[in-house]
Amino acid sequence: MTYHANEKGYYGEFGGAFIPEMLYPNCEELRHNYIQIMEEPSFKEEFDQLLKDYVGRPTPLYFAKRLSEKYGTKIYLKREDLCHTGAHKVNNTIGQILMAKKLGKNRIIAETGAGQHGVATATVCALMGIECIVYMGEVDIARQAPNVARMKMLGAQVRPALSGSRTLKDATNEAIRDWINNPVDTHYIIGSVVGPHPYPDMVARFQSVISAEIKWQLMEKEGRENPDYVVACVGGGSNAAGTYFHYLDNPDVGIIAVEAAGKGVNSGESAATSALGKIGIIHGSKTLLMQTNDGQITEPYSISAGLDYPGVGPMHAHLFKSGRGEFISVTDDEAMTAGLEMAQLEGIIPAIETSHAFAIFDHRKFDKDDVVVVNLSGRGDKDLDTYIDYFKL
Ligand SMILES: *Cc1c(COP(=O)(O)O)cnc(C)c1O
């Protein structure tokens, strides 16, 4: 019994590769090669070196003393906010750009909603001197101007998606269309543990550096590798997958996933996929998905752009369905309050995505001797305007 993907990319009944025939060669090339490439010593060496010298790993595992005192349990923070570019996303884009090079690709495409994944992709393309095209909905381009500017400064071309609601899903359609037309020279960098096999497993493996580090860091601090709980927020689920990865099959370690309830799970403005989702197919993967009775994808809502996604990766759908993971949904208000508390108790301003994870301490009691590791997925600089508006700072 394992909670990892099987050879066909299934986590229980979720995952797989539900793709148009025209994409088959692209996915098949990747599927056939990804594990072998990741296990090559030269790949590992370059990946580890860049994570160390460019991203700034290992990121610290920090004992949050004042937060722990307040909630009567031992809380550690895994500091992904200290990664270059301010969040965990770069762990994956570094991995995928090296993968693209090994596969002989010289052109990168990506899609982005809020722009964080676009920036992480443009960053590694600049690093490697590879052409970068980022698809972004026209509406998102207008509301995420600083990230558009960052991508341009990094040398990427930002192409607007003009169809549909002109947001993330339309940008994804454009990226897929591009990939179909350029199967030989182009690699598509997907930004979370979503999409057709092998993406969810490949991205989880790149992000698994997070829990690999937690193991030895916790051994140094607590004399044991295993915390009682690992906690992360879930949008598509990549920072969560990395935080859980080396603990998935260890029942001694509790897994807690935090989703965005927006204005309330039943308000009609939410992104709480496990609570609201039904089985469906999105971006080539069978998973839990917010949809209408006739299977149309419902527009998700969260104050945090990174959690504003109508599905979850198949790993998380399986963790939910099997009961291995405990899923908690947190509203905008609860997350914002928790973000402010984190700033004032620990001197760390978290990304609003991450603030959702901290809000669980008001939802759920832990024992005084429990060791709870929360993944601090990103820093709050990008969210300052939202904090300013919300708290009238
Ligand atoms: C993008 C993002 C997320 C959500 O993405 P996952 O794939 O679910 O990790 C969470 N936190 C931060 C800081 C992000 O930038």
Domains of the chain: 11-50+89-203 (3.40.50.1100), 56-86+208-391 (3.40.50.1100)
* Residue ID of nearest Cα to ligand 1 atom 13: 378
For the chain, the average pLDDT equals: 96
- What pLDDT score was predicted for residue 154? 98
Instruction: Please give the distance, rounded to the nearest whole angstrom, from the Cα atom of residue 266 to the centre of ligand 1.
Output: 23
**Closest Cα to residue 240, out of 183, 182, 180, 320?**
320
- What pLDDT score was predicted for residue 194? 96
**How many Å apart are CA 354 and CA 307, to the nearest integer?**
10
Structure tokens at 188: 């598509």
Q: Cα–Cα distances in Å, from 317 out to 74, 135, 382, 390?
A: 28, 27, 29, 32
Among the atoms of ligand 1, which is closest to the Cα of residue 351? Answer: 13
Instruction: Please give the distance, rounded to the nearest whole angstrom, from the Cα atom of residue 87 to the centre of ligand 1.
Output: 8
Per DSSP, what are the bridge partners of residue 136? 112, 160
Burial environment of residue 139 by CB neighbours within 10 A (0 to 12, 13 to 18, 19 or more)? middle
Structure tokens at 170: 């339309």
List the catalytic residues.
89, 111, 377
Instruction: Please give the distance, rounded to the nearest whole angstrom, from the Cα atom of residue 305 to the centre of ligand 1.
Output: 9
Return the minimum-mean-pLDDT range out of 110-114, 165-169, 209-213, 255-259: 165-169
Count how many Cα atoms sit within 13 Å of the Cα of residue 60 in the half-sphere of its side chain: 7
> Does 85 sit in the ligand 1 pocket, CB within 6 Å?
no
Overall size of the chain counted in residues: 393
Q: Are 88 and 40 in contact (CB under 8 A)?
A: no
SS3 content of the chain, % helix, strand, coil (to 5): 50, 20, 35
- Please state whether beta strands 14-15 and 61-63 pair in parallel, antiparallel, or not at all (unpaired): unpaired
- What pLDDT score was predicted for residue 167? 87
Other beta carbons less than 10 A from residue 153's beta carbon: 11
Q: Are 35 and 7 in contact (CB under 8 A)?
A: no
* Residue ID of nearest Cα to ligand 1 atom 1: 306
- What pLDDT score was predicted for residue 351? 97
Among the atoms of ligand 1, which is closest to the Cα of residue 80? Answer: 13
Instruction: Please give the distance, rounded to the nearest whole angstrom, from the Cα atom of residue 244 to the centre of ligand 1.
Output: 14
Q: Where are the alpha helices (DSSP H) in the chain?
A: 24-39, 41-50, 65-71, 89-102, 116-128, 138-143, 145-153, 168-181, 199-207, 209-222, 238-244, 273-276, 314-322, 332-346, 352-358, 384-391
> Does 310 sit in the ligand 1 pocket, CB within 6 Å?
no
**How many Å apart are CA 181 and CA 330, to the nearest integer?**
41
* Residue ID of nearest Cα to ligand 1 atom 7: 238
> Does 92 sit in the ligand 1 pocket, CB within 6 Å?
no
**How many Å apart are CA 121 and CA 191, to the nearest integer?**
9
Instruction: Please give the distance, rounded to the nearest whole angstrom, from the Cα atom of residue 306 to the centre of ligand 1.
Output: 5
> What are 290-348's pLDDT values in tens digits?
999 998 888 889 999 889 888 999 999 999 999 999 999 999 999 999 999 999 999 99
Angle between helix axes 332-346 and 384-391 (nearest 10 degrees) is 100
* Residue ID of nearest Cα to ligand 1 atom 3: 306
> Does 380 sit in the ligand 1 pocket, CB within 6 Å?
no
When pLDDT is cut at 50, 70 and 90, the band that residue 41 belongs to is: very high
Other beta carbons less than 10 A from residue 301's beta carbon: 18
Return the minimum-mean-pLDDT range out of 74-88, 182-196, 295-309: 295-309
DSSP state of 263: T
3-class DSSP assignment, residue 257: strand
- What pLDDT score was predicted for residue 305? 85
Q: Where are the alpha helices (DSSP H) in 40-102?
A: 41-50, 65-71, 89-102
